[in-house]
Amino acid sequence: MSTVVAAVVLLVIIWIKRRDPALGLVTTLAWASTFEILSNAVGTIGFGWAVRDFVWMSAALSGWVILAGVLGVWPDLRISLAFVITLAAWVATGYEPNRPGDSNFNVLSEILNEASKTLLALAYLLGALRASRSLKWHDLAKRQPWHPPPRIVDIPAERAGSDSN
């Protein structure tokens, strides 16, 4: 639930501040993708999670991270450092992800999970507010469509001079 709330907050703030819902959407998806890729990397390297799941997850989600970077959305470095420290604390305490229906709910793990996810969201939000590019629909609509250059064809000599009659 907190992920959905954070996603809506990111989208709305970027939409209002930048007047760019598309940038908000890309930033939100890049944030969630980055968190999932990194959390799966930690689980795979440190806790023996399946490598194939990490590879699939990274391949499926990395496009959003790349698109955000192309648009100039880079997570704020200071907040990202706080995210890394919080993620490291979560790893140091056992890195227990709580899943719906788990009978062994770990409060500390949930706090560290939510704190790290929120810090990464904040880092992406600050990055989006400073982004150099935009995906505003009206900007895209103003662009001229691309047309291929005209083909160069040999015009027969008799047709080239036909206007002189």
d(CA 43, CA 91): 9
- Cα 29 to Cα 3, 57, 126: the distances in Å are 11, 13, 15
d(CA 36, CA 108): 19
What's the pTM? 0.80
Q: pLDDT for 36-68, tens place per residue? A: 999 999 999 999 999 999 999 999 999 999 999
| Residue ranges of domains in the chain | 2-133
Evaluate if residue 70 carries a pLDDT over 80: yes
d(CA 76, CA 128): 9
Range 59-64 contact pairs with CB under 8 angstroms and sequence separation of 24 or more: 61/32, 61/33, 61/36, 61/37, 62/33, 62/37, 64/26, 64/29, 64/30, 64/32, 64/33
Q: pLDDT for 80-108, tens place per residue? A: 999 999 999 999 999 988 777 778 888 99
- At 144, list the tokens: 């001229």
- Cα 67 to Cα 72, 128, 133, 134: the distances in Å are 9, 12, 11, 11
Residue 161 is predicted with a pLDDT of 58
d(CA 149, CA 42): 50
